[in-house]
Structure 1
Amino acid sequence: MISARQLAFLILRDINRRDSYTDVAIDRALQKHPLSPPDRRFCTELVYGVVRRQRTLDCLIEQLGDRPIGKQPPDLRRIVQLGLYQLRYLDQVPASAAVNTGVDLAKANGLKGLSKVVNGMLRRYQRAEEQGKNILDQEKISLGEQYSFPDWLMELFEQTWGKAETESLCAYFNQNPSLDLRINPLKTSRVEVAQSLAELNLTTTAMAGLPQGLRLGGKTGAITQLPGFAEGWWTVQDASAQWVAQILNPQPEETIFDVCAAPGGKTTHIAELMGDQGQIYAGDRHGWRLQKLAVTQQRLGLTSIKIWEGDLTQPGVKPPVELVDRALLDVPCSGLGTLHRNPDLRWRQTPATIATLLPLQQALLKAIAPLVKSGGTLVYSTCTLNPAENEAQIERFLQDHEDWRSEPFEWTSPQGQTNSVTSGMLTILPHHHHQDGFFIANLKKA
């Protein structure tokens, strides 16, 4: 049977060679090579950890090796990254195990002649740690090297939040994400779900301000195997994402348009809040993503959702409905509020890729505005912390549309304090609120 470390090495190779997304590469490998639950968790931790910390790990390799990292064989780099990640960040792994298994990986993957190089670098790091020496001089390396982020992103965060907040934010992004559930009140209750999970020694915490929210703790294993998933009692959704539909505040028998709906987390939440009574149009330009929405809708037992494939920004495209009471526009964005959950985004996004999103977001706002009734509501949301995609887009929209205004709303912090968001625009900060970074704007049509 393949070991967790060997599979982690193969997954990292797959990510680099095929430009695969981390979660996709992990799922693909685990389907081909099933592991025991503990090994599955360890393998996943290694892969996500190396992807998150790769810039810092590469800085260490530069200091420990005799050759520049660009001249090292890629497989050697991956093996040393795995060893260093265990030595530096995983206290539960004995140093000897991290070193010895690194040597074994080199021998097992065609690098027998370089196994001494692996051993030398890892033992050099181990000795430095035991002697209290810091191989990386904090005064000489950049914040991006220290926290493992690209420099342009650190500059964006520093310009927005300042250095101290940026360091706290990036430290949070280097942790494993929390796991939140949204209970389906049409089938069960939060108490009932908590009791069923407690029987598996899983802890749950009710989330302030979110009647359907439940934070899950403990070693869950495969999520789809937990009690209640197949029955449609709950779905996985971060607390920040749950706030979007809460702020939209849909009412039974209303007509709602979720413009960028797939894969359907917020759409199905809207249906649950309406008691599955009314008309919800779920649109998206990608049919394959809408298929995921259809599967979730069926699992949750919801019937009020009508799926529509289309792109409102394209000329001549007829929307599925003429007028709606409320619309949700959860636009495509850079995802910079979910870097703990999607660690490869920090390496995939660039200023150029973000620049292509801005006109799309503006076009979607312009396209949905006429479809909302007078007195109706439009909620605009992103899972990014980039002001250009957030406040700047709303300010521009309001300048161009005099019949719209921002609408205050109430929001409850995770600590249970309810505040009035008088500007109508809310930014949820991960390191303060312990949930995904989100921006939510509540807009009202005259």
Structure 2
Amino acid sequence: MTPAARLSAAIEVIEAIDSQRVPAAKALKEWGTAHRFAGSGDRAAISGLVYDVLRRQASSAWIMDDDTPRARLLGMLRRERELDADAIAALCDGSRFAPEALSDAERAALASRTVMDAPAHIAGDYPEWLDGYLGEVFGGDRAAEAAAMASRAPLDLRVNTLKAKREKVLGSLRHLGASATPWSPLGLRIALGADARNPGVHAEEDFIKGGIEVQDEGSQLAALLSGAKPGEQVIDLCAGAGGKTLALAAMMQGRGRLIATDHDKRQLAPIYERLSRAGVHNAEVRTPKGDSDPLSDIRASADLVLIDAPCTGTGTWRRNPDAKWRMRPGALEVRLKGQVEVLDRAASYVKVGGRIAYITCSVLPLENGEQIRKFIGRHSDFTVTPPSQTASVLWDKTDDFLAAVYMSDEGLLMTPRRTGTDGFFVSVLQKKA
């Protein structure tokens, strides 16, 4: 397919998303099934175009002063891909398989309109109903912070120190363009271009042998900030597929007791194979059965309970731009209730002197600092560990990291704009005597 034909295909997919109200992944899959002539490179390029339109949906429509699928695509080419009006016109020339030629109004909009005077939610490309929440945490920087959350994320990997060393894996993955992450001592990063396909990491020998796992650097740092140590009894209370369980296991160096569980046993399905591949031998997976508590024997005895809390995922918008436009206030309320329940549950498992590491991939204060303040109000026997102390596990990078993140009395917040990671909030709470 020609670049122009890919644009036409992307417009078709966006029209399907709008008219059928389906997730982008479903619309792209259905388009691919109906157009089997399109090669893998074509499908990757079309997918990239569609997701970039979703990333810049509001600002692209603003630039074009029009909210049609075609207008949003044209606006995205100007805003995200930084093509000028002439370059866009060359792609949209009305020839076979190409989009129709630009109108005078479209050409004028592409040449003159910007988001300079747009409202914050337009310039930052987020739903207007979230403006107050983002303003509470970012203030006048909310448009810039949200715009950074709309950029395409790199592919980050975590080196499993139970089986490999970063220097060696860095060399073996050099052909993929891998480089060391700036903050995590365990991370590797592969930058991805606009039309790039995700590299086949799962076919690499380092992955097959358990030496690496796909994990955003922010998620790696969140696990490190929990301070898990060899010999401790550690619970991963919302383990899901096991990403942070694996990170905790490596931090514990195979010593101590690691228990992974989740209220939704379906989420735990991938964890067994992942633990085996990673060479983890001190982990136990406990699957909930009915209304019984799978951790009933661990009352007030855990050194650390890690909560990778179910949340709105606002910090991961750059990986899932479709989600931000589908998010509704009711979903936030559900998540807030679940966070209260899991925090209170965690408190019952922690021994005196033990810790809770509360983590969200959200930037919303209701899910982060406010949850911690309310928790302390309900559990006066817990206190927040100062973020400066929590971050000391990063050794020589601690000062620079603390200067980059947003710090509060309740914890610290990473963002794509400040740390180059997904958005993650981390708070470590200690149980007093």
Q: Same fold (TM over 0.5)?
A: yes
Q: Name the residue aligned to 1:98.
A: 91
Partner SS state of residue 321, structure 2: coil
SS where residue 160 of structure 1 aligns?
Answer: helix
Cα deviation code 1:235-288 (max 9, x no counterpart): 111121112221222222332211111121101111111123332221112233
| Aligned equivalent of 1:255 | 233
Task: Tell me the distance in 1 between the aligned counterparts of 2:353 and 2:37.
Answer: 54
Give the SS at the match of 2:255. coil
CA shift, 1:13, in A, is 4.9
Kindly indicate whether residue 285 of structure 2 is the aligned counterpart of residue 294 of structure 1. Answer: no
Shift of 1:38: 4.5
Aligned AA (1:124)? A
Q: How far 1:371 moved relative to its partner?
A: 1.1
The 8 Å contact of residues 205 and 216 in structure 1, kept in 2 or not, is answered as no
Q: CA deviation at 1:156?
A: 1.9
List gaps (5 residues or longer) in structure 1.
70-76, 107-117
Query: Which string of whole-angstrom CA distances, capped at 9 and with x for unpartnered residues, describes residues 31-55 of structure 1?
Result: 8859656434422320111112222
| Alpha-carbon displacement from aligned partner over 1:84-114 (angstroms, at most 9, x marks no partner) | 43354324693244313797367xxxxxxxx
- Mean alpha-carbon deviation: is it higher for 300-309 or for 430-439? 300-309
Corresponding residue for residue 417 of structure 1: 400
Q: Which moved more, 1:10-19 or 1:301-310?
A: 10-19
Give 2:355's aligned residue. Answer: 377
Separation (CA, whole Å) in 1 of partners of 2:228 and 2:136: 36
Match of 1:214 among 175, 185, 188: 188
In 2, the alpha carbon distance for the partners of 1:443 and 1:191 equals 34
Q: CA deviation at 1:207?
A: 3.1
Higher relative contact order (CA 8 A, sep 6+): 2
Report the counterpart of residue 72 of structure 1 in structure 2: none
| RMSD after superposition | 3.3
Q: CA 1:86 to 1:98, structure 2 compared with 1: closer, same or farther past 3 Å? A: farther
Q: What is the Cα deviation at residue 326 of structure 1?
A: 1.2
What does 1:125-164 correspond to in 2, within 5 Å? 125-129=106-110, 132-134=111-113, 138-139=116-117, 141-163=118-140
Q: Distance in 1 between the 2:419 and 2:186 partners?
A: 18
The amino acid across from 1:161 in the alignment is: F
Contact 1:207 1:215 in 2 (8 A): no
- State whether structure 2 residue 370 is matched by structure 1 residue 407: no
Question: Is 1:204 paired with 2:176?
Answer: no
Shift of 1:23: 4.8
Unaligned runs of 5+ in 2: none
SS of residue paired to 1:194: helix
CA contact (8 A) 1:252 1:274 kept: yes
Percent of residue pairs bearing the same amino acid type: 25
What is the rounded CA distance, in whole Å, between the counterparts of 2:397 and 2:53 in structure 1?
A: 30
* Letter matched to residue 347 of structure 1: W
Deviation at 1:177, TM superposition (A): 1.1
Task: Tell whether 2:375 aligns with 1:393.
Answer: no
TM-score by length of 1: 0.81
SS of 1:306's partner is strand
AA at the equivalent of 2:162: L
Q: TM-score normalized by structure 2?
A: 0.83
Report if aligned partners of 2:240, 2:268 keep a CA contact under 8 Å in 1: yes
Give the count of matched residue pairs: 413
Structure 1 segment 239-278 matched on structure 2, within 5 A:
239-278=217-256
Q: Which segment is superposed worse, 150-159 or 219-228?
A: 219-228
| Aligned equivalents of 1:410, 1:390: Cα separation in 2 | 16
* Structure 1 contact 37–221 (Cα < 8 Å) conserved: no
1:264–1:201: structure 2 CA closer, same or farther, 3 Å change rule? closer
Question: Which residue, 204, 210, 224 being the options, matches 1:232?
Answer: 210
Q: How does 1:156-195 map to 2 (within 5 A)?
A: 156-163=133-140, 165-195=141-171
Give 1:217 deviation, angstroms: 2.9
The one of 29, 54, 76 aligned to 1:85: 76
Q: Alignment partner for residue 417 of structure 2, among 407, 431, 435? A: 431
